Structure 1
Amino acid sequence: MIKWSTVGKIACGFLVGTAGVKILGSNDAKKCYTHITAAAYRCKDSVMETYTNIKENCQDISADAKEINESRYAKEREKEIADAKAVLENAGV
């Protein structure tokens, strides 16, 4: 037996789906999609700008840290050399 309520639900779904396709394909809907896409591009540009700034700052921080470590290693090396000279002088060599 055919359940007419099921057939009615399917028919209503078909009508709503068809109307939905027409609404989504209308010129007003296309204008809305265009504005949303433009906003998404603006958002992407803003995010990329922020990313670039953060990346540049991280590179600056990394370069400064390397300079600090190189300076520290050079001082430690000078101290080791001075200590070695002092040991040699005390040993009478």
Structure 2
Amino acid sequence: MKNVFKNVDWKKVGTFAGGFVFGTAGVKVLASDDAKKVYTQCTAAVLRAKECVMKTVNLVQENCEDILEGAKDINEERAQKAEAQAFEDEDFREVEEAAEETAEETAEETAE
């Protein structure tokens, strides 16, 4: 019978037994009322942090929406100015062409 215990690695058996004891004690500690109070306090702190983060996220989203609207307004104004400038350029060309035609007609009449 002594030969059976001779081949046993007592270090592994001791580690297993210690783990079992700590595991059993750990479960009791984790299920205790004091531990539950700690869990409750930690959960409350996480919820407060979440609320703070969500306020910040909402503020950033609102600012982004304001920035986007401002950018759209700027682009719209630039497009209107470009359109007005193109219209003025077209009118100027028409006036120039009319003036050139008049000058050519006048030159032809004086040449005759």
Q: TM-score, normalised by structure 2?
A: 0.80
Structure 1 residues 25-61: Cα deviation after superposition (integer angstroms, max 9, x where no partner): 1000001000000100000010000000000000001
- 1:27 aligns to what? 33
**More contact order relative to length (CA 8 Å, sep ≥ 6):** 1
Q: Which runs of 5+ in 1 are unaligned?
A: none
- Deviation of 1:76 (Å): 0.9
Q: AA paired with 1:79?
A: Q
| Residue correspondences, number | 93
Match of 1:74 among 64, 71, 80: 80
Q: Does 1:63 align with 2:63?
A: no
From the CA coordinates, give the structure whose radius of gyration is larger.
2
What secondary structure, in the 3-state scheme, does the structure 1 residue paired with 2:79 have? helix
Q: AA paired with 1:31?
A: K
Q: Percent identity?
A: 44
Match of 1:41 among 20, 38, 47: 47
The runs of at least 4 aligned residues of structure 1 exceeding 3 Å deviation read none
Q: Which runs of 5+ in 2 are unaligned?
A: 1-6, 102-112
